[in-house]
Amino acid sequence: MQSVEKGLSMDMATQNASLAQPLAPAVAAPSTKVVARDVNVYYGEKHAIKNVSIDIPDNSVTAFIGPSGCGKSTFLRSINRMNDTIPICRVNGRIELEGQDIYDPRLDVVQLHARVGMVFQKPNPFPKSIYENVAYGPRIHGLAASKTELDEIVQTSLIKAGLFNEVKDRLNDTGTGLSGGQQQRLCIARAIAVSPDVILMDEPCSALDPIATAKVEELIDELRQNFCIIIVTHSMQQAARVSQRTAFFHLGVLVEEGETAQIFTNPQDKRTQDYITGRFG
Amino acid sequence: MTQHTVRAYDEELALLSSKINQMGGIAEAMLVDAIDALVRNDVPKARLVVDRDVQIDLLQQDIEEMAVSLIARRQPMAIDLRRIMGSIRIATDIERIGDLVKNIGKRTSSAEDRFTGNRSLAGIQHMAHLVLQQIKTVLDAFAQNKPDLARHVWLHDGDIDQLNNSLFRELLTYMMEDPRSITFSTHLLFIAKNIERAGDHATNIAETVYFIETGQQLSGPRPKGDASALAFTPSME
C-alpha cells in the first residue's frame, strides 16, 4: 500500500515539475556560502544546539525564527565564533565558509570577524564620531592605503547603508547622538566597511520604531545583492518580508528550513505550523 | 488543532466558519424549497425563495469584511491564512449558488403557460437531490476539516453532468413532439443547467477545502460528463 502511494505521489511530483518548467528562473541558483554539518553547541551541561545541518546561499537573506531559548541566536553566533568568548561554551561539528572550516585552529579569528560581520539587537556605535565608527574596521584590518582611500570607504559604506545623505554634513559628530534607527544603520555601515562575505544580524530592528524598521528592511533587501545575510528575528512578519529562506528552530533543533513563502503558507512540520500561526505551548 | 495563544483569534476564526455554514445552510434550504415549488407549481413558495437570496448576499459581505479585518489585525499565517482566504472563496461560490437557485424560483413563478405532467420534472428532482448531497457533503468537509471528503465531492460531479445531458435530450424530444411544451421545457432546460452549475460550485468549494486543509491543489483527471454542448436534435440521428 505504501509503495503504491509513494508511486502516485512521485507521479504527481513529476507532473508538477514538468508544469513548473516554463516558470523556472533563467539565472542559476545562488551558490552556497555557509555550510553547517552536525553542529552541536553546549553551554556547560546544557545542550543548546543539537545536530544542526544547513546550507545557506549567497546573495540572499536567510531568517532564523523560533521561540526564545530555541538556540537561533546561539547558532548565529557560532557562525563567526562569537561564542569563543564564553568560557563554558563548546562547539563541535563543522561550519564552513566558502569551503573553509571556520573552527580550524590555524584560522585567525580576527580575520574571520572581518569576513563575517555582525549587527546586534541594540545599536552599539562606538562613543566616537560617525566617521570614526565606520573607519575603525578598515583601519585595523589595513584595508585603506591612504586617508583618501579611507574617506572613500567611509563614504561608500554610509551610502550603501542608506545613511550618507542624513549625516554627510556632520561626519565628525558623535555616533551616539543619532536616532536609534540611524545608529543601527551606522552599525550596518560599520559592518559592511570591511567588505565582509556574510552579515549576521541578531534582531536588528527590535529596538526600532516601524519607520526605522522599514528603512533597515529596505536596506537589507538592497544589501543582499552583494552579501549573504543571516537574520535572527522574533517578528515572523519581518522574516516573511525580508528573507528568501527561513529556518525554524525549536529546543535547539532545526525543525524545518525552506523557501520563505513555503514556510509561511504551507509548513510541513506541525511544530512550525503551531509556532507561526501563534499556537505554541 | 491546538488553540491559539490569543483566544479571541480562535473565536473569530470559529465565527467566520460558522457564518460560512450558516450561508451554506440557507443555500441548501433554498434549493430544497425551489425544487419543491417547481414540482408542486407553488408560486408563493417560489417567490419566498427569490426573497431569501438577500440573506445570502448579506452574509457574503459579512464574511468578506470579517476576513479582511482578520488579515489586517492578526496577520494570519499558514493554515489560518489558507482558511481565511478560502472562506472568501467559498462565500463567493455559495453566493453564486444562491443566485442560481433564485433564478429557479423566478422561472417557477413566471412560467404561467405551464405544461403540466412533464416527465422531466422527476429527472430535475433527482439531479437537484444529487447536487444537494454534494453541497451538504462539501460543507461538512469544510466544517469538520476533512480533505478526503472534499476530494470525494470533487470526484463525483460527473454523475450530475451526465444527468444534465440526458435531461437535455429528453426535453428536446418533448419540444419536438409538442410545440406547446416549448416555453416550459425551455425554462426546465435553464433550471437543469442552473442546478448543474450549482454542482460545479460545490466542486469549486471542494477544491478550496482541500487546499485549506492540505496546502496542495487537487490535481489529476476529474471525471467530466457534460456533453450537452455537443448534443444534437434527435431528428438528425
For residue A171, how many other CB atoms are within 10 A of its CB?
A: 19
Q: Which of A15, A237, A277 sits opposite B78 (nearest CB)?
A: A277
Q: Are A49 and A74 in contact (CB under 8 A)?
A: yes
CB contact (8 A) between residue A237 and residue B6: no
* Phi, psi (rounded to 5 degrees) for A122: -95, 130
Alpha-carbon gap: B172 to the closest alpha carbon of chain A (Å): 42
Which chain A residues are closer than 8 Å to B1 by Cβ? 279
Q: How far apart are CA A231 and CA A234, in angstroms?
A: 10
Is the Cα torsion angle A24, A30, A31, A36 positive or negative in sign? negative
Residue B99, C-alpha cell as written in the block: 443566485
- Band (A221; pLDDT cuts 50, 70, 90): very high
Position A76, amino acid: L
Chain-chain contact of A280 with B1 (C-beta, under 8 angstroms): no
Tens digits of per-residue pLDDT, A39-61? 999 999 999 999 999 999 999 99
- The nearest alpha carbon in chain B to A264 belongs to B78
**Mean pLDDT, rounded, for A172-196:** 94
B176 within 8 A of B111, measured Cβ to Cβ: no
Which has the higher per-residue pLDDT, A164 or A4?
A164
The grid cell for B195 is: 442546478
Helix, strand, coil shares, percent, chain A, to 5: 45, 25, 30
Closest to A128 measured CA to CA, from A73, A83, A183: A183
Helix ranges restricted to H, chain A: 2-20, 72-78, 109-115, 130-140, 147-160, 164-167, 180-192, 210-223, 236-242, 260-265, 270-276
Taking the Cβ of residue A240 and every Cβ of chain B, the question of whether any pair is shorter than 8 Å is answered with: yes
Determine contact, residues B193/B124, Cβ cutoff 8 Å.
Answer: no
CA–CA distance, B139 with B94 (Å, rounded to integer): 10
The DSSP letter of residue B112 is: -
Would you kindly state where each structural domain of chain B is located, as residue ranges? 2-214
Please list every residue in chain A whose beta carbon sits closer than 8 Å to the beta carbon of residue B80.
277
- pLDDT recorded at residue A280: 76
**Interface residues on B facing A, Cβ-Cβ cutoff 8 A:** 1-6, 9, 75-82, 215-216, 219-220
Nearest to B77 among A16, A264, A280 (CB): A264
Answer whether A31 touches B (CB < 8 Å): no
Decide if B6 and A278 are in contact by the 8 Å CB cutoff: yes
Neighbouring residues of B132: CB distance < 8 A, sequence distance ≥ 6: B28, B31, B32
Across A41-78, b (16+ Cβ under 10 Å) vs e yields beeeeeebbbebebebbbebbbbbbbeeebbbbbbbbb
Strand pairing class (A89-97; A100-101): antiparallel
What does the pLDDT look like over A9-21, one tens digit per residue?
444 444 444 444 4
Beta bridge partners of A43: A46, A89
Strand A32-43 to A46-57 pairing:
antiparallel
pLDDT in tens, chain B (237 residues): 688 888 889 999 999 999 999 999 999 999 999 999 999 889 999 999 999 999 999 999 999 999 999 999 999 999 999 999 999 999 999 999 999 999 999 999 886 656 555 678 889 999 999 999 999 999 999 999 999 999 999 999 888 999 999 999 999 998 898 888 888 889 999 999 999 999 999 999 999 999 999 999 987 777 666 666 655 554 433
- Contact: A278, B5; criterion CB under 8 Å: yes
User: Contact A15/B219, CB-based, under 8 Å?
Assistant: yes
Residues of B in contact with A261 (CB under 8 A): none
Strand ranges for chain A from DSSP E:
32-43, 46-57, 61-65, 89-97, 100-101, 116-119, 198-202, 228-232, 245-250, 253-259
DSSP A174: B
Q: Which residues of A touch B215 (CB under 8 A)?
A: 265-266
As a whole number of Å, the CA-based R_g of chain B is: 20
CATH of domain A22-276: 3.40.50.300
Residues A278, B82: C-beta atoms closer than 8 Å: no
A63 touches chain B (CB under 8 A): no
pLDDT computed for residue B143 by the predictor: 95
Indicate the residue type of B30: M
Residues 147-166 of A with CB under 8 A from B: none
CATH fold of the domain at B2-214? Methane Monooxygenase Hydroxylase; Chain G, domain 1 (1.20.58)
Orientation of helix A180-192 relative to helix A147-160, angle to 10°: 130
3-state secondary structure of A30: coil
* Side-by-side strand order, sheet with A116-119: A116-119, A198-202, A228-232, A61-65, A245-250, A253-259
CB contact (8 A) between residue A281 and residue B5: yes
Nearest to B219 among A12, A237, A240 (CB): A12
CB within 8 Å: B77 and A280: no
Give the start-end residues of each E strand in chain B: none
**Residues pairing with A116 in the sheet:** A198
DSSP β-bridge partners for residue A97: A34, A100
Closest by CA to A118, choosing from A61, A209, A190, is A190
Residue B9: list chain A partners with CB under 8 A. Answer: 278
| Pairwise CB contact (< 8 Å): A277 & B82 | no
Quick check: B77 and A276 CB within 8 A?
yes
Summarised one tens digit per residue, pLDDT across range A160-173 is 899 999 999 999 99
Maximum CA extent, chain B? 69
Q: A51 and A216 in contact (C-beta within 8 Å)?
A: no
Q: Which of A5, A277, A280 to mutate to test the interface with B (most CBs of B within 10 A)?
A: A277
| ∠ CA B31-B37-B39, rounded to 5° | 105
Residue B236's CB is within 10 A of a number of other CB atoms, namely: 5
> Looking at beta carbons, which residues of chain A come within 8 Å of B5?
278-281
This model of the complex carries an ipTM of 0.73
